[in-house]
Chain A
Amino acid sequence: MALIQPAQPEAHEPGGGRRGRKAVRYAVPVAVVGVTAATIGLVPALADSGDPSLPSLTAEQIITKIAASDTQTVDGTVKISTDLGLPSVLSGGSGSSLFGGAVAPPSTGSRDGSRADPQRQFTQLLIGSHTLHVAVDGQDRQKVSIIESAAEYSLIHNGSQVWAYDSASNEAYHATAPAEAGEDRAHPRQAPSDAFPATPQAAAQQVLKAAQGTATITPDGTARVAGRSAYELLIRPQHASATTVDSIRIAVDSKTGVPLKFSLQPKGKGKAAIDIGYTKVSFDKPSASTFSFTPPKGAKVTEGRDTAREQKSPEGMSGLGEPTFIGSGWDTVAVFKAKGALPAAPEKNAKGGAASLLGGFGKQVSGSFGTGTLFHTRLVNVLLTQDGTVYAGAVDQSALTAAASGAAR
């Protein structure tokens, strides 16, 4: 048998020479792995060169800075992570399928509804981690895109036109925003910011409005967010014993006063329940072509319901009436009186499909409201009673059942 050995000057080498050389050669891949591991471990630590030093400001000054911010143009990437402790099977969109097709989000709406319907798409932001691309050019032109694996869902507001495009299903959604609408209406009703804050700015505005007088707001050092120096505000609920909110932290850009990061920490250990922050941001004007949309040939276009008519009968949407409120401040519990029986109401559903599914997630409680199903998340607790009334609030479970009992009495 021929034996071709690696070339080696055998005469010069002592007995262990060959083995030694072998070890040296194998050390190369090991060294590459080692250097890579060290780089992955060390670079973030080195890049994190401490918090920026900024002239200290009081909480009022920072809030004034936010209010005085006149930044009208934003072009950035937002990362939203929500960890409410909901079962991840509901999320669907988080796992990428093998062939790169975006996984259909759970059908929250009716089966025949358009996949491009904003209400249907933005629900998925409630669970898991998502990347959004946000472009804003004043009040009239905004675009929010949910970046999915090899697909994208875009909501484009340009003047009086509202377009939504779901590239995974090649479906579009069209609605017109009322032309005479004032500043508040410039965000069309379908805009995500109404239902769920998609940007740190929207989240910060909502919280700061709610926090006035009911929470302590203190400056809490500085931070570096998306490569920019930022002041941090810490908001802690006051006069609220039952709330599940422990603290809220908002990072405000030191130059422009734009909130760059928003995170909400529920009571108890664990990571933030809601974390919305820019990973990349620029305050340059996005190019005009960003906001132009023509539905591609062959795309199925669903016309949105008339915005004006919709506002007259909002309960038509979900079967829920306007909420009434129990309590005040952070302990507020919202009460929805359902018009019809909700699927969760323990009705005799032939095979118990929806009812037993929901019952599996929640737990049965009873009080003077009768019996009901309590759904617990890390932030919000929801109680569905027998008669179809819904109590919801960012309060702990006992406070919620107590509020429900008090209301029913």
Chain B
Amino acid sequence: MSRAETTAGPGLQDGEQGQPLVGRQDSGRERLPAPPAPRAGRAVWTLGLFGSELLIVFRRVRTLALLAVLAGVPLLVGIAVRIETRDGSSVGGGDGGGPAFLEQISNNGLFLAFASLAATLPFFLPMAIGVVAGDAVAGEASTGTLRYLLVAPAGRTRLLLAKYASVLTFCVAATLVVVLSAVVVGFSLFPVGDVTLLSGNTVSLSDGILRGLLIALLVASSLIGLAALGLFISTLTDSGIGAMAATVGLLITIQIVNNIPQLHALQPYLFPHYWLSFADVMRAPVIWDGIVKNLALQALYAAVFGSAAWARFTTRDITS
């Protein structure tokens, strides 16, 4: 397939000559230099493509706004807990409601990171991913820049891979933004010390931070499946808004289905079903079953919808 695609470029059929070559509306796109040789430059090419995709994603005001909202969640949770526990009472009357790990925050600031991840993972984080993934291809199509992108002899498969890689990078960045914001807020508002695990065992703070890093990694990988799904939807339509709305709508629908007890037979196959398994890292001993299931499910979604996106994107006619 690669040979066919490296020659893919100039497929312009009828006259577009009269129209000026409209620049990408996203100021971030840097025009790529022409490849010196098809084979030797391939790796550089792919990296360059990935780099320019990353720039596009992260230079967008929309992306920065999403990250700002994500950074605000730990701040809000932290301030709320701080105010509520000022007089020594426990959060929410001590009935264990609210996000996981909420009760422990006032005694150990590190738990704000876990509580914030538990609070943002069901909707905030995946919604941000849905916006970025849904926009990846369809956004280019709706602004009319996709065909110019394909004029460069990068090949559709590699373009898609670069897009997916940039979405995955955003997954990691979004998770890290939540964690870092939570750590900064948590460490400045609350005492920090030895960490009591869910099982009641106490471990040192450094052990707790290591577990926190592992949790951040697991949360970021929990979004792999949704990223592929969003990318697939993005290849289906030429409307960027439509793809974002469809991805986020699908996410909300699936989250609702995932919480209807009568549909339990279906739930193990829904991508958010094992998302909260990251909390198992905080047990002693760590229970890996749910974590492994989560990663396998994400890999499956990535394989199915990634290949579906590839099938769609490499065979469709790009009309805009």
Contacts and interface: CB of A to CB of B under 8 A. Distances in A.
Interface of A: 1-9, 18, 21-22, 25-26, 28-29, 32-33, 36, 77, 88, 94-96, 98-102, 104, 115, 133, 145, 147, 149-152, 154, 156, 163, 165-171, 289-290, 292-294, 296-300
A28 B303 CA distance: 9
Contact of B200 (A29, A156, A168): A156
A102 B314 CA distance: 45
B319 A3 contact: yes
B33 interface: no
A169 B98 CA distance: 10
Given A100-B276, A298-B107, A163 B300 contact: no
B98 A2 contact: no
A147 B96 contact: no
B119 interface: yes
B96 A28 contact: no
A147 B289 CA distance: 13
Given A9-B4, A101-B118, 14 more contacts: A7-B5, A22-B315, A26-B311, A28-B307, A28-B308, A32-B307, A104-B97, A149-B100, A149-B279, A150-B100, A169-B94, A297-B193, A299-B196, A300-B94
Contacts of B202: 292-294, 296
Nearest to A165: B200
B317 A5 contact: yes
Given A150-B279, A296-B108, A290 B300 contact: no
A22 B4 CA distance: 14
A102 B100 contact: yes
B139 to A, nearest CB: 17
B294 to A, nearest CB: 13
A43 to B, nearest CB: 12
A296 to B, nearest CB: 4
B20 interface: no
Sorted nearest first, the 7 A-B pairs with minimum C-beta distance are A150-B100, A168-B96, A298-B107, A7-B8, A25-B311, A150-B279, A296-B196
A26 B311 CA distance: 5
6 contacts: A5-B13, A6-B316, A7-B11, A98-B255, A165-B199, A300-B94
Interface string B95-106: 111111111101
A94 B264 CA distance: 11
A33 B284 CA distance: 35
B317 A3 contact: yes
Contacts of B311: 22, 25-26, 28-29
Contact of A6 (B118, B193, B314): B314
Nearest to B7: A7
Contacts of A32: 300, 303-304, 307
